[in-house]
Structure 1
Amino acid sequence: MAQERTGVATLKGNPITLIGPELKVGDQAPDFKLNKDLMTEVSLSDFSGKIKLISVVPSLDTGVCDQQTRRFNEEAAKLGDQVVILTVSVDLPFAQERWCGAAGVDKVVTLSDYKTRAFGQDYGVFIKELALDMRSIFVLDADNKIRYVQYLSEMTEHPDYDAAVNAVKQLI
């Protein structure tokens, strides 16, 4: 049975339970299978050799998630080809594609954890009460070692964008 972590996160001040381990800097990132579209699955190895910033959001159709994804889209344009920014949510791939089109987001890769929620559980961000993934940031080096991680303690707050981008820049 997966580990339950309580007392580490809230939604508008109300406690929520995260399922899975708390990953730390220096850990090897767990592999994953996420949907790029309804039929196409990708895994961590599909981005091998690249520095990866994984931006996890509960749903693109909410204000903070929208702003977070737009911000990382802007940053992606400046970071170069050796960096890939992945935005992970449990939104259906159709909704992700529609949102990206409407928002003009074209530099980040949106991936969906809707099928199994395994990413959320393996990365310790699956919210038991909501079946969503908690806002968080992971920066992985080219060998998939975690070099930066931020688990937000309040779902409605923004991540530390500058710290995440600086962690990526240190790896370039």
Structure 2
Amino acid sequence: MDFEIFVHGEKAAELKPVTSGAAPDFTLLDLKGNEIRLSELKKTVLISVFPNINTRVCSLQTKHFNQEAAHHPEFDFLSISNNSAQEQRQWCAAEGVDMTILSDDGSFGRAYGLLMETGPLKGRLARAVFVIKAGEIVYHEILKETSEEPNYQAALDAAQ
């Protein structure tokens, strides 16, 4: 299914995201250099995906899920962008955020159909949220407009 992405109302990309069924497995590095493999996580996983940690909405999204992670130890929260690990570390230090943030080398974005190949955000990930239980995608939200925040409560409800 084609999905259009907009930046401030202007069409920026067309994607074919994975939205149901088995969650594609991936392995990415966290900010300490540890490999995080989706298939090795045993809890329900909430994945927050965003284009650029150094923008207002991405920062709000990441801070919000960081706060939720502190209240929900029964879930594994993963935040993923294709910022460099150094950019992510600097942002976390400046904002006082301590959560699992992964730097995508493009493999996650391609596997989930979220890597924008054209437009002003070429090479960036589309904003999205997934909930994965027992290896299956049980919830997804892919935001058509990159300047909008996700529905945090819907994602948390799906994870329950």
- Please give the TM-score of this superposition, normalised by the length of structure 1: 0.84
Cα distance change, pair 35–164 in 1 and its aligned pair in 2 (3 A): same
What code does the residue aligned with 2:117 have?
K
Deviation at 1:95, TM superposition (A): 1.1
1:1-172 aligned at under 5 Å gives the runs 5=2, 8-19=4-15, 21-25=16-20, 27-37=21-31, 40-47=34-41, 49-80=42-73, 82-106=74-98, 108-113=99-104, 115=105, 117-129=106-118, 130-141=122-133, 143-169=134-160
* Separation in structure 2 between the aligned mates of residue 101 and residue 111 of structure 1, nearest angstrom: 15
- Give the gaps of 5 or more residues in structure 2: none
What code does the residue aligned with 2:100 have?
V
How far does the alpha carbon of each residue in 1:48-77 deviate from its partner, in whole angstroms, 9 at most, with x for none? x11110000101100000000000011111
- Partners of 1:29 and 1:145 within 8 A in 2: yes
Secondary structure in 2 aligned to 1:128? coil
The alignment yields a C-alpha RMSD, in angstroms, of: 1.8
Aligned length: 157
- Give the gaps of 5 or more residues in structure 1: none
Moved over 3 A (4+): 37-41
What fraction of aligned residue pairs are identical, expressed as a percent? 34
Secondary structure in 2 aligned to 1:85? strand
